[in-house]
Copies of this chain bind each other. A is one copy, B any other.
Amino acid sequence: MSEKVNIKQLALELNISIATVSKALNDSYEISLKTKNRVWDLAKQLNYTPNPAASNLRSNKTKTIAVILPCVANNFFSLAIKGIEEIARKYGFHVLIYQTHEDCEMEISFINSLLNGRVDGILTSVSSSEDNADYYENLVKKVPLVFFDRVYENLDTFKVTTDDYHISYQATSHLIECGCKKLAYLYGLENLPAGKARFSGFKDAIDANGLTISDDFIVKYSDDENTNLEHIKVLLNHHKPDALFSSIEEFVIPSYTACKELRLEIPKDIKILSFSNLATAKLLNPSLTTITQPAFEIGNEAAKCLFKILTKRGIDDDKSIILKSELIKRASTGC
């Protein structure tokens, strides 16, 4: 039988539930030996195998990896998780997700709780609230760990990131080509390399075009939604920028809301672009110009790296992987 047999087919064939088959295959005490024998016999007969790709992973006991990230309510991260799950599934691994909400205390406490063998490996996109580089420097020596998107540099493990500097430079140049001269910057992730690179790309494009930016034109991210809205309204009211460059998706809703409340027309009165994987970007009023990160691919690539460590194959490959983001021009920059 050349076709791959799955657990559902075994259940159907034996006229028992999928749950029973699953438990029998796992040698659960809940299942009678008689039933187990029926399941095992058929599984053998039909050449059922839990997962061929998993054969190198016998030493990994939990068949589980953890993804630790700031927040799942963000299209970038939910897509990245999908990319991770696709690879994990090939190896027959489960994927646990844990949200840190940028709280480094929670982050460390949770990771510590995993260290006694509760998972075989960790994928993480670190909190922006504090610099935990020392903690991670120690951690990568103890547990298979791969960073994606939000990374610490100079650590001896795989890191998957995007070309934040270049795409920010390119997007800023697009705003300037559309005629913007007074660009404001909505600043996120300022403690992290990604945040710094995004701002540098913006700043360098401003400088290269003979423009300037003062501190009044920079709004820093707050984890309180209303504060972000108020700060953007103050920026728009007092300083009248002609463009908002949003470095994280979380600024999109307050930016649009502020313009609506102040009756500013996008893109006539102000142009907006944002780093964002928002699924509704093209349906917004007006549709939003985005810097779209290859979120699924980042997760996918990071998971591949983790399985390189777990299978001990390819661990000498280049450890710094940089994928390309894309500038998608839509109505909010209107040119």
Which listed residue, B7, B82, B285, touches A73 by the CB 8 Å rule? B82
Q: Which of A20-28, A166-174, A181-189 sits within the interface? A: A20-28
Complex CA gap A95/B103 in Å reads: 14
Name the interface residues of A88-138: CB closer than 8 Å to any CB of B.
Answer: 94-99, 101, 104-106, 108-110, 112-113, 118, 130, 132, 134-135, 138
A278 touches B (CB below 8 Å): yes
Residues of B contacting A262 in the complex (Cβ-Cβ under 8 angstroms): none
Residues of B contacting A109 in the complex (Cβ-Cβ under 8 angstroms): 7, 22, 94
Complex CA gap A278/B73 in Å reads: 11
Complex CA gap A6/B104 in Å reads: 13
Which A-B residue pairs are the 9 nearest by beta carbons?
Answer: A285-B285, A73-B78, A97-B97, A72-B72, A19-B135, A280-B280, A19-B108, A256-B283, A96-B96
A327 touches B (CB below 8 Å): no
Which listed residue, B63, B113, B280, touches A113 by the CB 8 Å rule? B63
Contact B108 A22 (CB under 8 A): yes
Residues of B contacting A260 in the complex (Cβ-Cβ under 8 angstroms): 283
A16 to chain B: closest CB distance in Å?
11
Residues of B contacting A63 in the complex (Cβ-Cβ under 8 angstroms): 113
Q: A78-B78, A81-B99, A253-B279 are in contact. List 4 more A-B contacts (CB 8 A).
A: A23-B112, A73-B79, A252-B280, A256-B283
Which of the four size classes fits the interface of chain A?
35 or more
Complex CA gap A17/B113 in Å reads: 17
A69 to chain B: closest CB distance in Å?
10
Given contacts A22-B105, A63-B113, A82-B73, contact A98 B95 (CB under 8 A): yes
* Max chain B C-beta neighbours (<10 A), residue from A26, A85, A110, A283: A283
A163 to chain B: closest CB distance in Å?
24
- A194-226 interface code vs B (CB 8 A; 1 in, 0 out): 000000000000000000000000000000000
A37 touches B (CB below 8 Å): no
A239 touches B (CB below 8 Å): no
Contact B253 A283 (CB under 8 A): yes
* Max chain B C-beta neighbours (<10 A), residue from A7, A78, A252, A256: A78
Which listed residue, B72, B118, B253, touches A118 by the CB 8 Å rule? B118
A75 touches B (CB below 8 Å): yes
Contact A95 B99 (CB under 8 A): yes
* Max chain B C-beta neighbours (<10 A), residue from A81, A134, A285: A285
Residues of B contacting A6 in the complex (Cβ-Cβ under 8 angstroms): 105
A311 touches B (CB below 8 Å): no
Contact B94 A97 (CB under 8 A): no
A66 to chain B: closest CB distance in Å?
8
Complex CA gap A64/B64 in Å reads: 16
Which listed residue, B7, B8, B280, touches A284 by the CB 8 Å rule? B280
Complex CA gap A114/B8 in Å reads: 21
Residues of B contacting A284 in the complex (Cβ-Cβ under 8 angstroms): 280, 283-285
